[in-house]
Structure 1
Amino acid sequence: MARRPTIKEVSKLAGVSFKTVSRVLNNEKNVSEETRRRVEQVVAELNFRPSLAARTLAGRKSFQVGLLYDNPSPYYVYHLLAGAQEGCAEHGYRLLTQPVDSAAPGLVADVAALVDETHLDGLILSPPVTENEALLDELDRRGLPYVRIEPGVRREVGRSVTIDDASAAQEATAHLLAHGHRAIAFIKGPLSHVSTVERLKGYRAALEAHGVAFDEALVVAGDYSIDSGRRAAHLLLDRASPPTALFAGNDDMAAGALAVAHERGIAVPDQLSIVGFDDSDLAAAVWPPLTTVRQPVHDLARSAADLLLDAKSPRDRMTFDTRLIARASTGPAPNS
């Protein structure tokens, strides 16, 4: 096995002290740009990787970031974790992931214990954890840096990354309206997610813009899981006058609705058009593949890590674009 290069070798080749190398590795500000570039060049040439323990002792940091999530969609969570992990790795940090119940009475105490036990240098909060104001108060009290993904409260405070959910949902609904659909159902997510409120707002805005009356009976609650999409679809398709199109608040619920359509012998898209949201791996795997809104979950999470760990970043908030991906699950309304 090849011998691992040491900080002494980096120091000698760069012509600087051990302490200066440590400052560069810890991304401290009191180092000239010329010295920083020289040290970074030697680090790259030697493929030097400092031990986490040594860095912690030198800089009194843990070089660990936590990510809190509460979402039943494995596809969303996968891209969330992958993006955050990539962003942390680029800054030389480890990512600790923690599933939580955002509505649990003990959430604040549990997160406080996690921070104390692991000495986290910061947190990335994903929805709906971003909505817990008691947790935000506790993090502010501690002075612990954090970045929120799609915050719904205190949106102008702190660092965050987001998309325009309302605009994206309006575009998805308008796509169905352009195909002649007028009886368009909406399967919404849990109210604990700000995305649920914003996507419902966009759905209603599209109906209003096209002169279609909003029918509350065509809105059914889900929880972002496949099973909840199935339950909602059964309720909607059992109606005396079932909808000709269905917009689900995420791809998992859309896939559940699609499965119900297949079970009932309802042809998609000839008899029922279905639209999802996220453009997860699932959207392209089902048949027919789902028309959906592409949400850049990976980029959101990666950028959240960048905002958290890049002390020089001049930005506090970033908004990412979404895009409607038209596939075979949508078509003209029957008899249109």
Structure 2
Amino acid sequence: MTDDDRKPTIGDVARLAGVSPMTVSRVINDSSRVRPETRARVEAVIADIGYAPDPAARILARAGAGRIGLLYANPSNAYLAEVLAGALSGARAAGLLLMIEPSQAGDPVAERLAVSRLVAGGAQGLIVPPPLGESPATLEAIARAGLRAVALAAPGRGEGVVSLRIDDRAAAGEMVGHLLALGHRHIGFIEGRGDQSASAERRAGAEQAVATVPDARLIVEAGDFTYRSGLEAARRLLTQRPRPTALFASNDDMAAGALAAVHGAGLDAPGDVSVAGFDDTYVAASSWPTLTTIRQPAADMAHEAAIRLARPGETPGSVPHSLIVRDSTGPAPH
């Protein structure tokens, strides 16, 4: 029995059998993905402590109403809103229940606990937006729990983790190509967080596009995907001589900060400085002027991730992006 008078839980079984809660769930639901010796050990613990699965939960599982979890630790509320809307619609379409759990990127203990809480809640798969999809602590916790996961905008490294992303390099190259076609030759680029591969891919795409035009130059400043970092990076870029005639930020939050920096310097966008973003969140359409940006269909990606978690045999891959031209970009000033 357990060490107190409470009803034994699936976590108790997992701890005593030396396996993950997901493995116990697979044994209970008679999954073929459990080794015979592991099944025997789990069943022995179940019999010994008198664990009885919740009948209601068993009925839901058999009816296809399983549970998936969404981890989040992204600094962009606009991006998170897109992911959440897509995950909810996808879970509903797949007949799944969606659980949402905050995490703290960069804190390994907090990251592991966030995954553990979803496992304890019965999650059978996870949707993992950036930056957690590339965090060693989160990926290790997912593997130890035996979960399947879809990492959004990440390479999909780690056991049981697959990727769903756009081609960030090509997308950034397309945006810079748009600016070059408008006559811009001095382009400021605001890079994202260094712990996300998308940041490096977007910078590489921008650099490759600039390299195709002999007199073009890319000036890079660091950001971290927040509005404040975009504002401060843009202020630094606007002190360059010659001053960049266009600013391209790695997400819409930073691009909105760059617009504020342009206005704060007494300049016009796009008359004096064009500004472009990335993601096409609600920030892009609500900024003044409205932002030219790359549409990364975050809501569609999260929706698809939920659908794919309900169909284990299907593997996600890449999704298309698109260039959205609005009012914040125009011809380079003479």
TM-score range, shorter chain: 0.7 to 0.9
C-alpha distance after superposition, 1:136-184 (max 9, x if no partner): 2332233212111122363897432110011000000111111111110
SS of aligned partner of 2:114: helix
SS of aligned partner of 2:211: helix
Alpha-carbon contact 1:70-1:128 (below 8 Å) kept = yes
How many angstroms does 1:330 deviate by? 0.9
How many angstroms does 1:87 deviate by? 0.8
Which residue identity does 2:153 align to in structure 1? E
Alpha-carbon contact 2:68-2:96 (below 8 Å) kept = yes
C-alpha distance after superposition, 1:183-222 (max 9, x if no partner): 101011111122111100110010112234655xx21111
Evaluate the alpha carbon distance shift between residue 203 and residue 249 of structure 1 in structure 2; reply closer, same or farther with a 3 A threshold.
same
**Equivalence for 2:10:** none
Equivalent in 104, 109, 126 of residue 101 of structure 1: 104
Is 1:191–2:190 an aligned residue pair? no
Is 1:327–2:326 an aligned residue pair? yes
How many angstroms does 1:119 deviate by? 2.3
Is 1:128–2:131 an aligned residue pair? yes
Alpha-carbon contact 1:163-1:321 (below 8 Å) kept = yes
C-alpha distance after superposition, 1:91-150 (max 9, x if no partner): 222211122222113144313431343121111111111112343233223321211112
Evaluate the alpha carbon distance shift between residue 155 and residue 109 of structure 1 in structure 2; reply closer, same or farther with a 3 A threshold.
closer
Alignment of 1:201-240 (within 5 A): 201-212=204-215, 215=218, 218-240=219-241
Which residue identity does 1:265 align to in structure 2? G
Instruction: Say what the alpha-carbon RMSD is for the aligned residues.
Output: 2.4
Equivalent in 155, 159, 181 of residue 178 of structure 1: 181
Structure 2 distance, partners of 1:202, 1:327, is 21
Which residue identity does 1:332 align to in structure 2? P
**Equivalence for 1:58:** 59
**Equivalence for 1:281:** 282
Which residue identity does 1:307 align to in structure 2? R
How many angstroms does 1:289 deviate by? 1.0
SS of aligned partner of 2:165: strand
Which residue identity does 2:254 align to in structure 1? M
Structure 2 distance, partners of 1:211, 1:153, is 36
Alpha-carbon contact 1:107-1:135 (below 8 Å) kept = no
**Any gaps of 5 or more consecutive residues in structure 2?**
1-28, 33-53
C-alpha distance after superposition, 1:242-283 (max 9, x if no partner): 211100001111111111211222011111011111111111
Evaluate the alpha carbon distance shift between residue 319 and residue 112 of structure 1 in structure 2; reply closer, same or farther with a 3 A threshold.
closer
Evaluate the alpha carbon distance shift between residue 60 and residue 287 of structure 1 in structure 2; reply closer, same or farther with a 3 A threshold.
closer
Output the TM-score relative to the length of structure 1: 0.78
Structure 2 distance, partners of 1:58, 1:287, is 52
**Equivalence for 1:247:** 248
Equivalent in 88, 92, 100 of residue 91 of structure 2: 88
Structure 2 distance, partners of 1:116, 1:284, is 37
Mean Cα displacement is larger for which, 103-112 or 126-135? 103-112
Output the TM-score relative to the length of structure 2: 0.78
Structure 2 distance, partners of 1:119, 1:70, is 21
Structure 1 distance, partners of 2:181, 2:320, is 22
Structure 2 distance, partners of 1:254, 1:145, is 34
Which residue identity does 2:152 align to in structure 1? I
Alpha-carbon contact 2:191-2:249 (below 8 Å) kept = yes
**Equivalence for 2:23:** none
Aligned residues: 282
Evaluate the alpha carbon distance shift between residue 103 and residue 212 of structure 1 in structure 2; reply closer, same or farther with a 3 A threshold.
farther
Which residue identity does 1:246 align to in structure 2? L
Structure 1 distance, partners of 2:192, 2:239, is 20
Alpha-carbon contact 2:164-2:318 (below 8 Å) kept = yes
Structure 2 distance, partners of 1:200, 1:103, is 23
Mean Cα displacement is larger for which, 57-66 or 125-134? 57-66
Mean Cα displacement is larger for which, 259-268 or 148-157? 148-157
**Any gaps of 5 or more consecutive residues in structure 1?**
1-25, 30-52
Which residue identity does 1:230 align to in structure 2? L
Alpha-carbon contact 2:187-2:217 (below 8 Å) kept = no
Which residue identity does 1:316 align to in structure 2? T
Which residue identity does 2:170 align to in structure 1? S
Which residue identity does 1:132 align to in structure 2? S
